[in-house]
Structure 1
């Protein structure tokens, strides 16, 4: 099993990123930041995260998007502002198809959400600093095992929101 921690839109909070890493860093295979950290890539709070550039990231030299492969699954990471994610997932869906991604992680809207469109899982971990749509300051851990994906949602400082856990079946590889 592979585990991926996914966080976004921490907007300058080194304390939150350090706290999340302290709590989960030893238990996950990859830590992803979906942009708007507002930190330099050399900041100790973000050096262990694989981060992309958000619309508020003026200090770091981050890529606009990255691809990670875990358990044979391709994960596309982007902030979302270049794909108009506040109004539609269609642009990001086409990018996912172009990149042959199984999973897309993005932020920008600060709204927690996860859904499967055709055979692609879209995950927005919400914002640990400035959540919209709910009070919890959320981030997620994605667990990948065989053809199953489990998404666990956490509220910063308050633990797992187990009633929000989601399970997805991934298409068979090969």
Structure 2
């Protein structure tokens, strides 16, 4: 039982952390979420490991943990913002444009409502179908399409110019 769990963690930990980081836009919160989920999954590994796709089940657990009220409350308790941190220390130029663009996109994604953000990450990062997204978020495919449409519209409206990204 534990060998299967240990192998699962060895094979999928990086992917789970990347998914959680993309959905939370916070590396540290993502690590906390994945750690909590993996602790719970280990206790139930006999049942989870027997599923056809244990990764999808664990990914759903990560999504649910992200959407839970405890995490939203923890996120609101952060007393400082990126703007405050930037004011305290001078910005260091990032020589890689790709990294700057990724960070700018992550910031734009971070302002989306949680359901829209989760749908967007599942669709474009995890390449999930609308049916899979609906199952993961517990909503209909029409609602998923609505979340995706609204998220993409918001991202297009809030798109920054390249000069602002490279500041």
Normalised to the residue count of structure 1, the TM-score between the two structures is: 0.28
Q: Normalized against structure 2, the TM-score is what?
A: 0.29
Q: Which has the higher strand share?
A: 1
Between structure 1 and structure 2, the one with the greater Rg is 2
More helix by share: 2
